[in-house]
Homo-oligomer: A and B are copies of this chain.
Amino acid sequence: MPNKPRMPKPQRQSRRVGFAVVGLGELSAEEIIPALRTSQHAYLAAVVTAEPDKGRAYAAAAGLKDSDAYTYEEFGELAQRDDVQAVYIVLPNNLHREYVERAAEMGKHVLCEKPLASNTQDAEAIVKACRDAGVKLMVAYRIQYTPHHWAAKNAIAAGKLGAIKLMDSIHTQVEDDPSVWRLNLEQAGGGPLPDVGIYSLNTLRFLTGLEPEWVFAAQHQPTNDPRFKEVEESVSFMLGFPGGLIANCLTSYGADKTTTVRVLGEQGTAVLDPAFPYVGLKLRLIDKKGETTPSFPDYDQFGLEVDHFAQCIQQDKEPYTPGEEGVQDHRLMDAIYESARSGKRVEVQKVAGQDVFRSTDNLPRQIKAGG
């Protein structure tokens, strides 16, 4: 099944929200720019990258003018582009803070890739900068915008699995190239944990709406592998949620690609496997009566995400995953690393309530899909 229309239906840009994509790596080229070009509420207005040639080539390929391509030095010139209402930050993690702060100063709304920053302090500074400037900030947690994950969340909330008892999630992949910034501690802020492990962490928090009270973790960093000179290869972490609910998670840059989530209730089970790829997600809901695999109309995960943010801007609403949602993951990842270093269980600040870091009065439209 074709995943989505890959050619824009030519239509008016008026009323749609113009985005500048900042950073032209694979994710921008293969997912974000195509998503913006087929979005209902957003469109690609500009690109920002290091090399002028590359920028102009991408602009042309996307039907933009040469003058829509900016270098990082020219980033400030976006201030004069009234048609650029928002920036989508797709940079190495340690650059997020600088570019979000500059965008906020220019009055641009900010959609920022996860993790929000390379450390908690920067993440908090990002939230403050956007708040002070009065611009919107959304963390690009795409799994909080898919019909599959919402169907799982809704089934849990509706009690279809009974009381939730245990959870398990794995997100691993093999990172082959020792030179990528993701293996550089300063640029990434960590290894697989902030890059792929964060999906397990964020998804389990999202599905239950609960926040962990303690964590335990162990990590492995081989001594003789050039890829893992600065960051860990693997992390295993356990999360203690309120009410005795416990979750196990595995993440790695050294193990075969795996993306799973399993939520075990008293009366049923929800399994997402695969849980995190861009297309081909599969949800199974299992109970005594059997197994159900819901299907949904084709969708583009990045399209849903940018459409949500564009509508937040159009309607002046808070994004479902605001900056605070991203800060919380950073606090938890700090605790995970602390536990892995100390070998001790680490208590974290208790947070009572449901979905406390999310804007529950502005649910993405996808919620209906799982209704």
Contacts and interface: CB of A to CB of B under 8 A. Distances in A.
A166 interface: yes
A57 B10 contact: yes
Interface stretch (A77-85, A236-244, A304-312, A356-364): A236-244
Interface centre among A2, A240, A245, A279 (most CB of B within 10 A): A2
A233 B218 CA distance: 24
A258 B264 contact: yes
Contacts of A61: 7-8, 10, 63
A259 B44 CA distance: 37
Contact of A240 (B63, B218, B266): B218
A357 B300 CA distance: 40
Interface stretch (A109-117, A133-141, A249-257): A249-257
A244 B265 CA distance: 31
Chain A interface extent, by class: 35 or more
Contacts of A120: none
Interface stretch (A183-191, A287-295, A318-326, A328-336): A287-295
A352 interface: no
A43 to B, nearest CB: 12
Copy count, this protein chain: 4
Interface in A149-181: 161-162, 165-166, 168, 170, 172, 174
Contacts of A344: 344-345
Contacts of A268: 256
Contacts of A29: 5, 7
Interface in A1-46: 1-3, 5-8, 10, 29-31, 33-34
Interface of A: 1-3, 5-8, 10, 29-31, 33-34, 57-58, 60-63, 161-162, 165-166, 168, 170, 172, 174, 216, 218, 220-222, 233-234, 236, 238, 240, 244-250, 252, 254-256, 258, 260, 262, 264-269, 277-280, 286-295, 343-345
28 contacts: A1-B278, A1-B279, A6-B31, A7-B33, A7-B58, A10-B60, A63-B63, A165-B172, A165-B255, A170-B262, A220-B244, A222-B244, A236-B238, A236-B247, A238-B238, A248-B248, A250-B264, A252-B264, A255-B265, A255-B266, A256-B268, A256-B269, A258-B262, A260-B262, A289-B294, A290-B292, A290-B293, A290-B294
Given A1-B280, A6-B31, A258-B264, 12 more contacts: A10-B58, A60-B63, A161-B256, A166-B252, A238-B238, A238-B248, A248-B250, A255-B264, A289-B295, A291-B292, A291-B295, A292-B292
